[in-house]
Amino acid sequence: MTKLVHPLAAQDVAFYKENGYLLYHNQLFAADKFTHLQNIFEEHLADKGEKLSDELDTPHFRDPRLLDFLLSDEVLDLIEPILGPNIFLWSSHFICKDPYIGRATPWHEDSAFWNGRVDTYEKILTVWLALDRSTRDNGCMQVIPGTHINGFSAYEDIDTTTNTFASQIKDVDVTKAVPFELEPGESSLHDSRIMHGADANTSQYRRCGYTMRYMSADTRLIPDRNAGHKIWLARGQDLAGNTYVNA
């Protein structure tokens, strides 16, 4: 068992609950383990075929090596103070913005894209692990603090040529945006309901991260809205009658 070197303090949890996000400026994994994850990502990137670099969704469905990271004590110890002791793995995504041409991520709420798939959105958390340095210049993620109270804003259609989604939240006050600038191996945490997005990468530096998404195990998946979607019980016990790969 590998213990988290820098666990969250009570004030960190309070900040997350009030603002809907937290920056974790510590190394989540030991250096050799993090390098192993970077190497796995490079394999997926090399084998992506016609997919764009930001479209490598649910790679753990195809590569069980990633479960060593997704179900690790390092990650689960980090998020348990927020989600509680019963946790399941919801999803993961390698998202990479290539130099000069990396598409923008429009302002959105994750919860809006998952509408109807679960019975509650109050305990869904994403860990965004920086595989490269993430800065304003290469299109780091940004959030609007405190907007996790709602989670279902009004949207408008946009062009997908330069954007990763076909819609965006209307009338976002970007003057309140907080950038998530991270060094490789550092992480951010955000609530699924918070407004967030990222500018296009027009710099010479690649910006890649691994999103690891979790829910409290008292969250029930709606079966007919999740056909073919696989989840793992990561810690504790199921409280909602879900079906898990590792049950």
pLDDT value, residue 50? 87
Nearest to 196 by CA among 98, 112, 75: 112
Contact 148, 211 (CB under 8 A): no
Which pLDDT does position 6 carry in this prediction?
Answer: 95
Backbone angles phi, psi at 106, to 5 degrees: -65, 160
pTM over 0.75: yes
| Nearest to 155, CA basis, from 142, 172, 140, 139 | 172
DSSP3 helix / strand / coil % (the chain, rounded to 5): 25, 30, 50
92 beta partners:
212
Contact 63, 42 (CB under 8 A): no
Q: Which residues of the chain have pLDDT under 50?
A: none
Q: Which CATH class, in words, describes the domain spanning 10-235?
A: mainly beta
Residue 201's pLDDT is what? 96
What per-residue confidence (pLDDT) applies to 28? 98
